[in-house]
Amino acid sequence: MRTARTRRRMFAAAGALVVAGLVTGCTAGAEEGNSGPTNNANNSESGDTVTIGFSGPAADHGWLGAINSAAIAEAEKYDDVELVVAEGTNDANLQISQVETFINDGVDAIVLLPTDGAALTEVAIKAMEAGIPVINVDREFSSPFAARTTVLGDNYGMGVSAGTYICEKLGDNPDAVVAEIAGIDSLPLTQDRSKGFSDALEDCGLEVSNRVAADFTVQGGEAAASQLLAAAPKIDAIWNHDDDQGVGVLAAIDAAGRDEFFMVGGAGSKNAMDAIKAGNSVLEATVIYPSTQGADGVALARLIAQNKALGDLVEQDVPNRVVLFAPVVTADNVDQYLPTAFTS
């Protein structure tokens, strides 16, 4: 249970957050006679130079590597952004110290993909209380007071997209055998993906007949797929949650000599898209989990720090929450998505 002191601090943060939506960065606006953020249709024009701190986990996965590189590339587009990049780490305590350094240095905004959302919550609140807007990316904090804006991929939507695609292909066959190769089962993101997949299949009268869990690695994907293939002599469709582990999944499928089914991937790696475009494997689609989230966080941090809004919205503030779409990539539209694909 929180102490009264902690609760008071949280309510103070809540007040700061409410004010942030109306006033953060408005000191300059007030001096210029403006009453609030500016909904500027041409946000690419240079403004006041802002310093943005960026911290994320270690790039030990193709998707995470793409998150980091895309964030850096986005910052380089602007001559009014100075991006300070902390070394990627999977140590929550080290990441906390990185954020504390950003606070002490007085950066204008922080973009944070926490290695552990709950563990980084308190230091994110500390930044917010110091008047530094925090943009939370991908892994949510455990308090709504820890971030000015949160940028998320749509894990549940990924499952829905994958299930809907399979329904469109197999919905007229109620006896179809649908298999699922999940990621790490203990993670909420995996649970959300599986829930969305199950819900979408149920809508067309299908269900998951065989399911195994891997660990987002090539080795784990190969082991889990081998287990699945041994247990299921007949499969009509497989959804694999992650294209990085999908490299191992495809290796297991090739080794087993199985090709009676089609497979849908997840995340949107270049490897997967190249295979989809070539059309020479069971992989015929993948569902995007955007690796642009860090870049989107940097772009939004710049707008918030410069007291701007999104030019295409009537709303006068950057939204509090942005959930990115989870489209299905097939041979028909793969060229559209290849430019933002990451390498496994």
Q: Reduced to 3 states, what is the DSSP secondary structure of residue 45?
A: coil
In terms of domains, do 135 and 225 share one? Answer: no
Indicate whether 233 and 307 sit together in one domain.
Answer: no
Flag whether 321 is in a domain: no
pLDDT for residue 15: 36
Residues 114 and 207 in one domain: no
pLDDT digit string (tens) for 232-252? 999 999 999 999 999 999 999
What's the rounded Cα separation, in Å, for the pair 210 and 7?
Answer: 46
- Tell whether 39 and 140 lie within a shared domain: yes
Q: Are residues 80 and 40 in the same domain?
A: yes
Q: Are residues 210 and 262 in the same domain?
A: yes
Does residue 319 fall inside a structural domain? no
As a whole number of angstroms, the distance between CA 62 and CA 7 comes to 40
Q: Is residue 318 part of a domain?
A: no
Specify if 278 maps to a domain.
Answer: yes
Say what the pTM is. 0.83
Strand pairing category for 328-329 and 283-288 = antiparallel
Model pLDDT, residue 316? 85
| Strand spans (E) along the chain | 50-55, 81-85, 109-112, 134-137, 149-152, 178-182, 208-213, 237-240, 262-267, 283-288, 321-323, 328-329
pLDDT in tens, the chain (344 residues): 333 323 223 333 333 333 333 333 333 333 333 445 555 557 888 999 999 999 998 988 889 999 999 999 999 999 999 999 999 999 999 999 999 999 999 999 999 999 999 999 999 999 999 999 999 999 999 999 999 999 999 999 999 999 999 999 998 999 999 999 999 999 889 999 999 999 999 999 999 999 999 999 999 999 999 999 999 999 999 999 999 999 999 999 999 999 999 999 999 999 999 999 999 999 999 999 999 999 999 999 999 999 999 888 888 899 999 999 999 999 999 999 999 899 87
Domain that holds residue 133: 4-153+292-313
Is residue 8 a part of any domain in this protein? yes
Q: 148 and 13 share a domain? A: yes
Contacts of 21 (CB under 8 A, 6+ apart): 317, 320
Closest to 114 (Cα-Cα) out of 66, 152, 155: 152
Scan for tokens 């060229």, then name that residue. 335
Does 180 fall in a domain?
yes
Amino acid letter for position 57? P
Read off the amino acid at residue 235.
I
37-40: long-range pairs with CB below 8 Å, 24+: 37/307, 37/308, 37/309, 37/316, 37/317, 37/318, 38/307, 38/308, 38/309, 39/308, 39/309, 39/310, 39/311, 39/313, 39/314, 39/315, 39/316, 40/308, 40/309, 40/311
Residue 1: the pLDDT is 31
> Parallel, antiparallel, or unpaired: how do β-strands 81-85 and 50-55 relate?
parallel
The CATH code of the domain that includes 247 is 3.40.50.2300
Cβ-count burial of 191 within 10 angstroms (0-12 exposed, 13-18 middle, 19+ buried)? middle
Could you tell me if residue 248 is inside a domain? yes
Cβ-based neighbours of 87, under 8 Å, separated by 6 or more: 98
- Residue 187 burial (C-beta neighbours within 10 Å; 0-12, 13-18, 19+): middle
Q: Is residue 320 part of a domain?
A: no
Residues 140 and 215 in one domain: no
Total tally of structural domains belonging to the chain: 2
Q: Mark whether 115 and 241 lie in a shared domain.
A: no
Q: What is the pLDDT of residue 61?
A: 81
139 and 279 within one domain:
no
Q: How far apart are CA 27 and CA 266, in angstroms?
A: 44
CB 237 within 8 A of CB 208: no
CA gap 139, 122 in Å, rounded: 14
**Does 168 share its domain with 271?**
yes
Question: What tokens were used for 321?
Answer: 């929450």
> What residues pair up with 213 in beta bridges, in sequence order?
182
Task: Give backbone dihedrals phi and psi of 234, rounded to 5 degrees, phi first.
Answer: -135, 130
Q: How far apart are the first and last CA of the chain?
A: 42
**Domain shared by 137 and 162, yes or no:** no
| pLDDT tens digits, 63-73 | 999 999 999 99
